[in-house]
Structure 1
Amino acid sequence: MQLGKGVEWTAHICAMLPLVPPGRGLSVDALADYFEVPSAYLAKQMQLLRRAGIVQSVRGKGGGYRLARPIDEISLLDLVTAIEGPTPAFRCTEIRQNGPCGLKRKDCRRPCEIASAFAEAERAYRAALASRSLASIAQEVAVNASPEHLLDIAGWVQRQVG
């Protein structure tokens, strides 16, 4: 399974947004420049986050995006679902019914064993993502990053929302 780039981009952005002061926001252009990603594509990703209630937009001078709820209430699963949608990665098409030895539809009383295995893996994957909040990741960043780097990031945010 491969997640789209938008998941990575928005996870990094959402980890940075708690630094935005109340009533302010970071523009898509500033965020795109910071992470060196295409602004138009990032704008689409941010709209998906807005529709999911993860971020909110602030209008006017100092406008842009900010978190819509506390960082400890946003999970990695929230981000993945907002960007990629809620559809499971594996979709069974019942190919066990195809071919010269395919099963008859009436003989498929139990779920496909392949589909069941993938569904079990998907549940574990989603549970792992749901258990990780952006706050827990931000805590790890705070521990692992140098104080100078963290100050650089905070200074950059403050200059943008100035």
Structure 2
Amino acid sequence: MKINKSVEQAIYVLLILALQKDGEPLKSRVLSAHLKVSDSYLKKILMKLKKGGLIVASASKNGGYQLARPIGA
């Protein structure tokens, strides 16, 4: 089975966010550097994940993206 590249990237994003200590938010530029993709490309994926209710975003100095629910829920 072949998985679309953007779906694969979305899964990686969810895994990275799930492994964040105490669910701390991550900036999109940090995620894009981790995945070695452009920030603009990753933001499109992040918006789809946000629209789907899988992640939330907070716009502040210490903000970023994090899972919408704890992984244990």
2:65 corresponds to:
65
Flag structure 1 segments of 5+ consecutive residues without an equivalent.
74-162
Q: CA deviation at 1:67?
A: 0.1
For each residue in 1:87-106, what CA deviation from the matched residue of structure 2 results, as whole angstroms up to 9, or x when unmatched?
Answer: xxxxxxxxxxxxxxxxxxxx
For residues 52 and 61 of structure 2, what CA distance do their matches in structure 1 show?
Answer: 24
Alignment RMSD, CA only? 1.9
Q: What's the offset of the Cα at 1:20? A: 4.6
| Higher helix fraction (1 or 2) | 1
Count, aligned residues: 72
Query: CA separation of 1:62/1:20 partners in 2, compared to 1, >3 Å: closer, same or farther?
Result: farther
Q: Does 1:8 align with 2:8?
A: yes
Task: Name structure 2 gaps, 5 residues minimum.
Answer: none
Q: What is the alpha-carbon distance in structure 1 between the residues aligned to residue 27 and residue 5 of structure 2?
A: 19
Please identify, of 11-20 and 41-50, the stretch whose mean Cα deviation from structure 2 is larger: 11-20
TM-score (structure 1 length as normaliser): 0.40
Q: Secondary structure at the match of 2:14?
A: helix
Pick the structure with more strand per residue: 2
How far apart are 1:72 and its partner, in Å?
5.1
Query: Structure 1 residues 27 and 53 mapped into 2: Cα distance closer, same or farther (>3 Å)?
Result: same
Q: What is aligned with 2:22?
A: 21
How far is the alpha carbon of 1:3 from its aligned partner? Answer: 2.9
Match of 2:34 in 1: 34
The answer to which structure, 1 or 2, has the higher relative contact order (CA under 8 A, 6+ apart) is 2
User: Measured at CA, do residues 20 and 40 of structure 1 come closer, stay the same or move farther in structure 2, by a change above 3 Å?
Assistant: farther
Q: What residue in structure 1 maps to residue 56 of structure 2?
A: 56
